[in-house]
Amino acid sequence: MQLTYRGQSYETSAISVDAIATSETATFMGRPYARKQFTLAQRQQPAELTYRGIRYVR
């Protein structure tokens, strides 16, 4: 995904979110709904980063 912040373009990848249905139900504002368990895939962080134009390594 191509994004821009303060005129600087950068690439990012979309995070995958898995939703597993559970047997639990809840009520919100008077309406029942089925609850889901969410898991996020770990994202790989780049080894070399840039902050205010200065590059550094973690």
* Structure confidence by residue, pLDDT tens digits, 22-34: 888 999 999 999 8
For the chain, give the mean pLDDT: 84
Give me 37's structure tokens. Answer: 């368990």
The C-alpha atoms of residue 4 and residue 14 are separated, in whole angstroms, by 15
- For residue 9, pLDDT beyond 80: yes
Residue 17 pLDDT > 90, yes or no? no
pLDDT surpasses 80 at 36: yes
Q: Which two tokens stand for residue 54?
A: 């200065």
Q: What is the dihedral of CA 55, 10, 42, 48, to 10 degrees?
A: -10
Per DSSP bridges, beta strands 2-5 and 48-51 are unpaired
